[in-house]
Amino acid sequence: MSALSHFAPVALEDQPVRQFYNSEAAAFHSDIGNYVPRRIEKLIEEAAAGFGKEPFLTTALPNGASATLNFTDVEKHSANLARYLRDELKLEKGAVVAIQSPNCISNVLGMLAVLRAGLVLTNINPLYTAYETRRQLRDAKAVVLITSSLFPDATEEALQSTDVGTVITLSLTDFFSPVKKAAIDFVLQHVTKMGRPLTIANVSMYEALKRGAKHATPVATYASDRDADEDAIYQYSGGTTGVSKGVRLTEAGVVTNVEQFASLSPHMIDAPGQTMLLVLPVYHVFGMFSSIIALRNAAHLVLVPTPKPLSNLKAAFRKFRPNAFPGVSTLFAKLMDEKWFYENPPQLTLTISGAMALSPAVRAEWSSLTGSSVIEGYGMTETTTLISINPPDTRARIGSVGLPLPGTRVSILREDGSLAAPGETGEIAIAGPQVMAGYLGRPETTSAAFHAGWMKTGDVGYLDDDGFLYLVDRLKDMLLVGGFNVFPNEVDAVLAEHPGIAEAAVAGVSDGKMGDTMHAFVVRRDPDLTAAEVQAHCAVCLTGYKRPRAVHFVDELPKSPIGKVVRRELRARVKSEEAR
């Protein structure tokens, strides 16, 4: 399925399709039929030509040490790594290269090299177990693994019974000065006990770059092997079914989604050379998307390997004074609880919020503290990243996830597949150039994800009369309590309003007879808060069937790497307690 094919009108059972566009993007829309996305190769060439000596990629460590490459450096090194993959390893079009690393220069460098080489990229969470890593390597049929030197035991175990023939090792300290590199590597290996030389055959990033430099093939030759609407990335996601699978993304879809965002983000496109602090993991689609935004807008991308503990970010904020900051609601809230952050907040131009609903209270406090405009986006891996954004101006509607991006159409489906009316809740369905080509090796799952040309998101929401989209919940998280549907996000929001609660989330456990019993998991702000007080608060704000029947006080909520609450772990905790 061509990413550009979604620009064509899509009929849904011969019913009229309502389309909502942002007026500022009129030029983008007027030319949408003839739009041809730029390639990654073009983006990096343009950035190097126009901003060659300006900083592009920085690895920022918690102790304040850092290393930086400019746009010319990154263009050269990524070209040489592409040459290594194609000319030295003799990889052919369609070969899959996996990258498994925390945020650092070599991670983004590797991503750009794979895409420039016309190969297929698959990103792997560096915290995966060997079993999880092996599963993805097998499913994606990866033949090369670019991996961090921090986790050698898991890497060696994961490679068993895979097609990986070459391992390239990278380090957080790649491109640091020799003295700094030696000192930091010593601490990592001998003090924190992280990292050691692999016992299996491998090539260091430096050696791969050196070997690639021996070849002179124009990198554009590789990129031309792969059409823009052919598979470029296998991004793994639980998606609408909860089972991790490869989402087939195209280069056209990725670049177009960035252009869709840029057309509505004058804070970035009108001011190249800004600094973006990226703590979201690059292996996640939101972090990867942010990296391409930085490239497209000639921004300085400062990469922090891990935001845990949050004090890891203190040096980067103070040293690099970022203008732009992508993140999620829980990250913003927790940063504002940090004394060092609250007393000396960064003055931001733009905050990009995604992955989960942004709390109105968090949004207001964050904007007041940092002076930042906030663009709240809604999306998913299956739509490359973004579907809609809440405009960062007077049109923004609190509680909404905004207007569909240029060239994107949103409809709400009833259970029978017909179109819902404005204000009517149903499943959100998408058509647009950023929609995935399908799930890797899963034709039946792919077919089930689409209805009459629309991709079903698995999210519940509604459109108002002006076309603003409102997200209610996930279909698979919806609870059935006494015959009534309950959306966990609604209950979460009520719990979060209690002054004694720092964080809270609910999960339902089925008893097999009466439906779901709702359990609330609460992180106290007030150490004296009782379950009875939580229940009383819910009784004031929620009708009977929406109130949690049990309250569990916990030290923290289980979250995904980008801050989403993992409700299945909450459900598992209840079942485990009941079994005991």
User: For residue 17, what pLDDT is reported?
Assistant: 33
| pLDDT above 50 (res 23) | no
Instruction: List Cβ neighbours of 476 (8 Å cut-off, separation of 6 or more).
Output: 240, 241, 242, 458
pTM over 0.95: no
Backbone angles phi, psi at 124, to 5 degrees: -125, 135
User: For residue 483, what pLDDT is reported?
Assistant: 57
For range 517-536, the mean pLDDT? 94
**Topology of domain 70-227, per CATH?**
Rossmann fold (3.40.50)
**Rg (alpha carbons) of the chain, rounded to whole number:** 24
Sign of the CA dihedral 210, 112, 36, 253?
A: positive
| pLDDT above 50 (res 277) | yes
User: For residue 395, what pLDDT is reported?
Assistant: 77
**Residue with more model confidence, 533 or 268:** 533
* CB 297 within 8 Å of CB 352: no
pLDDT bucket at 29, cuts 50 / 70 / 90: very low
* CB 507 within 8 Å of CB 481: no
**Residue with more model confidence, 147 or 242:** 147
Sign of the CA dihedral 559, 560, 564, 568?
A: negative
Backbone angles phi, psi at 404, to 5 degrees: -60, 145
C-alpha 175/C-alpha 388 separation (Å) is: 37
C-alpha 471/C-alpha 475 separation (Å) is: 11
pLDDT digits (tens, 9 = 90+) for 330-376: 889 889 999 999 999 999 998 998 876 677 788 889 999 999 988 88
Identity at 326, one-letter amino acid code: P
User: For residue 243, what pLDDT is reported?
Assistant: 57
**329-336 helix and 360-370 helix, angle to the nearest 10 degrees:** 50
**Residue with more model confidence, 577 or 405:** 405
pLDDT digits (tens, 9 = 90+) for 384-404: 999 999 877 777 788 888 899
Average pLDDT, the chain: 87
* CB 120 within 8 Å of CB 233: yes
In 3D, which of 387, 569, 176 has the Cα closest to residue 185? 176
pLDDT bucket at 35, cuts 50 / 70 / 90: low
Under DSSP, the state recorded for 189 is: I
What are the angstrom distances between the C-alpha of 37 and each of 32, 113, 397? 10, 19, 30
Q: What is the CATH number of domain 478-579?
A: 3.30.300.30
pLDDT digits (tens, 9 = 90+) for 146-190: 999 998 999 999 999 999 999 999 999 999 999 998 888 888 877
| pLDDT above 70 (res 32) | no
The strand pairing partners of 440, in sequence order, are: none
C-alpha 288/C-alpha 323 separation (Å) is: 19
Domain boundaries, the chain: 70-227, 478-579
Diameter of the chain measured on Cα atoms:
71
**Residue with more model confidence, 378 or 75:** 75
Other C-beta atoms closer than 10 Å to the C-beta of 373 total 18
